[in-house]
Amino acid sequence: MAEMDVALKDTMQIDGALGAALVDHTSGMALGTAGGGKDLDLTVAAAGNTDVVRAKLRAMEMLNLMDKVEDILITLDTQYHLIRPLTSRSGKGLFLYLVLNKDRANLAMARHQLRRIERTLDL
């Protein structure tokens, strides 16, 4: 999946990026990762954030909301965690996951760049 590798590499170029993953939210498995490390296990984070995506989609269904989730933001003391479900037919059931250093990242720019990367990703 060369396109996935390029997308993850591009994601890691976002200012403040600490780690990124492409995740299947039906299984919780990370299809690919970049960055991370001993303090940021992206496979564990991918599985855990799958529950976040499922919960949000379930809540929207119960509320009969027909909107699409653009992204989900989790703000920690020192990090931003961005979850962006893919909207293309080929990306259905997948999401991009990005962890940012809060002190180095520009959240608005990161969201804009992640949206651009998602649009170019065709799996």
Average pLDDT over residues 11-17: 96
Are 9 and 33 in contact by the 8 Å Cβ rule? The answer is no
Q: Please give the residue range of the domain that contains residue 106.
A: 2-120
Percent of the residues in the chain that have a pLDDT greater than 90, as a whole number? 76
Domains: count for the chain? 1
Segment holding 28, helix H or strand E = none
How many Cβ atoms are within 10 Å of 79's Cβ, its own excluded? 17
C-alpha angle 20/21/23, rounded to 5°?
A: 155
pTM summary value:
0.91
Token pair 């920690």 is found at 76
CA distance 64 to 21: 29
pLDDT band at 18 (very low <50, low <70, confident <90, very high): very high
CA distance 63 to 9: 37
Across the chain, mean pLDDT equals: 91
Q: Looking at residue 17, which CATH number applies to its domain?
A: 3.30.450.30
